[in-house]
Amino acid sequence: MSEQTATVIDGKAFAAGLRERVGGAVTTLKSEHNLTPGLAVVLVGEDPASQVYVRNKNKQTLEAGMNSWEHRMPATASEDEVLAMVRQLNDDPAVHGILVQLPLPDQIDSEKVINTINPDKDVDGFHVINAGRLATGQDSLVPCTPVGCVLLAKDQLGSLSGLEAVVVGRSNIVGKPVAQLLLQEHCTVTICHSRTRDLGEVCRRADILIAAVGRPEMVTGDWVKPGACVIDVGINRIEGEGGKTRLVGDVDYASAAKVAGSITPVPGGVGPMTIACLLRSTVLAACAQAGVTAPDI
Ligand code: GUN
């Protein structure tokens, strides 16, 4: 058996460094521009995973020196009530970023809620205006996980120009925006999905392989080009030995790590990048709204 040869990409350490840089930028904005970036999060209902996520966001936002507000609404909240909350936050000048935690309860139309957020405060980058701005190469707020993927790939590889990038997954939250970002980095980009023919063969072309399908350990080592950079966005909880559950990605780490040049682990790869990128987006949104030149973070 061959051994693991891939460099393990430490997303946790990279995210910590990014949060440090965000904190430094916040200090400067406060002292030089009297500007404190602020992020408001709306959480509807009691979903346990969402509660953990929102708590972490709140903690890290405060640690970076920013203002943070949490608006909790009951699972029974009506669409009109959630829309009213979003409009109130749109009108609040201290709020530079608005994030409505997904998923929303069934009685609420998520698309309508997202598209009611002021696009300049849409730090998730999910508003249709931001999707359009990204696709046309205009300044936009960009979804956080895709930004995290590209930052990690660039940290590993330097310039991505001319590289073959293959994205497995076509969601609006990861697959499509990460493909747009890779295109901006001058990659040749292929987006694959469940109906792609010869998926393994397409993946084997990739210098950068992004797995974001939500299927546990689907991408195996024989789909990986030797030396490729493998970025695993998946977070799947599966039954492990002895009835215990464990987290795995969309990549079969053990086999892929024997072939790849570098690979993100799960957990500790892309996951920690998402909130760090959210903090970064909040700072960029605050600067744009205040007419201040954005720091290089
Ligand atoms: N739920 C899980 N991840 C996310 C995210 O990045 N943004 C929002 N709004 N909801 C989520």
Asked whether this chain's domains 34-120 and 143-272 adopt the same fold, the reply is yes
Query: Which atom in ligand 1 lies closest to the alpha carbon of residue 274?
Result: 6
Convert the pLDDT of each residue in 180-237 to its tens digit. Answer: 999 999 999 999 998 999 999 999 999 999 999 999 999 999 999 999 999 999 999 9
1 pLDDT higher than 90: no
CA–CA separation, 54 and 52 (whole Å): 6
Q: Mean pLDDT check: name the lowest of 88-102, 110-124, 218-232, 238-252.
A: 238-252
Domain limits, the chain: 34-120, 143-272
pLDDT for 283 equals 98
pLDDT for 4 equals 79
Buried b (16+ CB within 10 A) or exposed e, 2-26: eeeebeebbbbebbeebbebbbebb
Over pLDDT 70: what percentage of the chain? 99
Question: What is the CB < 6 Å shell around ligand 1?
Answer: 99-102, 124, 144, 274
Cβ-count burial of 231 within 10 angstroms (0-12 exposed, 13-18 middle, 19+ buried)?
buried
25: Cβ contacts below 8 Å, ≥ 6 apart? 283, 295, 297
Mean pLDDT of 229-256: 95
Convert the pLDDT of each residue in 262-277 to its tens digit. Answer: 999 999 999 999 999 9
Band the pLDDT of 46: cuts 50, 70, 90: very high
Three-state secondary structure call for residue 244: coil
Give the mean pLDDT of the chain: 97
More confident residue, 5 or 190: 190
111 pLDDT higher than 70: yes
Please identify which of the residues 122, 124, 207, 252 carries the catalytic annotation: 124
pLDDT for 99 equals 98
pLDDT for 8 equals 98
pLDDT for 241 equals 86
Tell whether pTM > 0.95.
yes
pLDDT for 297 equals 92
Q: Measuring from atom 8 of ligand 1, which residue has the nearest CA?
A: 101
Class of domain 34-120: alpha beta
Architecture of domain 143-272: 3-Layer(aba) Sandwich (3.40)
254 pLDDT higher than 80: yes
Convert the pLDDT of each residue in 128-163 to its tens digit. Answer: 999 999 999 999 999 999 999 999 999 999 999 999
Mean pLDDT of 44-55: 95
Cα 287 to ligand 1 centroid, rounded to whole Å: 23
Q: Is 57 a catalytic residue?
A: yes
Our mutation pick for probing the ligand 1 site, out of 42, 53, 142, 270, counting the most ligand atoms within 8 A of Cβ, is 53
Question: Which ranges in the chain belong to alpha helices (H)?
Answer: 11-33, 48-63, 79-90, 110-114, 128-135, 144-157, 175-184, 199-203, 253-256, 271-290
Structure tokens at 55: 């708590």
pLDDT for 3 equals 80
Structure tokens at 116: 């009611």
pLDDT for 80 equals 98
Query: Which atom in ligand 1 lies closest to the alpha carbon of residue 173?
Result: 6
Q: What is the number of other CB atoms lying within 10 angstroms of the CB of residue 151?
A: 20
Q: Is 101 a catalytic residue?
A: yes
pLDDT for 123 equals 98
52 pLDDT higher than 90: yes
